[in-house]
Amino acid sequence: MKKLYTAGIALLLLLLLSACSGSKEEDKSTTSTEGGTEKTEEVFKIGAIPDQNAADMNRSLSKLADYLSEKTDLKVEYVPSVDYAALVTAFERGEIQLAWFGGLTGVQARNVVPEAEAIAQRPMDEEFQSVFISGVNTNIKSLEDLKGQSFTFGSESSTSGHLMPRYFLKEAGINPEKDFDGQPNYSGSHDKTYKLVESGSMKAGVLNISVWEAAVAEKKVDTSKVNVFYTTPSYYDYHWTINAVDETFGEGTKQKVTDAILAINSKDQPEIMELFQSDNFIPTKNENYKAIEQVAKEVGIIK
Residue-wise pLDDT for 189-199, tens only, equals: 999 999 999 99
Mean pLDDT of 36-56: 82
| Per-residue burial over 3-29, b = 16 or more CB atoms within 10 Å of its CB, e = otherwise | eeeeeeeeeeeeeeeeeeeeeeeeeee
Burial of residue 36, with CB atoms counted within 10 A of its CB: 0-12 exposed, 13-18 middle, 19 or more buried: exposed
Which stretches does DSSP call E strand in the chain?
A: 28-32, 38-48, 75-78, 98-101, 117-121, 130-135, 151-153, 185-186, 204-208, 226-231, 239-242, 282-283
Q: Cα(61)–Cα(79) distance, rounded to whole angstroms?
A: 9
Is residue 295 over pLDDT 60? yes
Provide the pLDDT for residue 28. 57
The partner residues of 92 in beta bridges, in order of sequence, read none
Question: Is 271 within 8 Å of 63 (Cβ atoms)?
Answer: yes
Provide the pLDDT for residue 300. 84
129-231 and 40-125+237-290 share a CATH fold: yes
Q: Cα(1)–Cα(5) distance, rounded to whole angstroms?
A: 6
How many other C-beta atoms lie within 10 A of the C-beta of residue 252?
12
Provide the pLDDT for residue 5. 43
Q: Which residues contact 11 (CB under 8 A, 6 or more apart)?
A: none
Q: For the ranges 37-46, 108-117, 178-187, 191-200, which has the lowest average pLDDT?
A: 37-46
Domain boundaries, the chain: 40-125+237-290, 129-231
Is residue 213 over pLDDT 70? yes
CA atoms within 13 A on the CB side of 104: 25
Q: pTM of the full predicted structure? A: 0.77
pLDDT band per the 50, 70, 90 thresholds, residue 276 = very high
Can you state the angle between helices 164-171 and 290-298, rounded to 10 degrees?
60
pLDDT band per the 50, 70, 90 thresholds, residue 16 = very low
Homologous superfamily of 40-125+237-290 in CATH? Periplasmic binding protein-like II (3.40.190.10)
Provide the pLDDT for residue 93. 97
Residues 96-147 have pLDDT tens digits of 999 999 999 999 999 999 999 999 999 999 999 999 999 999 999 999 999 9
In terms of Cα–Cα distance, which of 23, 21, 61 is closest to 45?
Answer: 61
SS3 content of the chain, % helix, strand, coil (to 5): 45, 20, 35
- Of residues 32 and 99, more confidence is placed in 99
The torsion angle over the Cα atoms of residues 147, 148, 151 and 157, rounded to 10 degrees, is: 60
Is residue 161 over pLDDT 90? yes
Provide the pLDDT for residue 247. 94
Its CATH architecture, for the domain 129-231, is: 3-Layer(aba) Sandwich (3.40)
Average pLDDT of the chain, as a whole number: 89
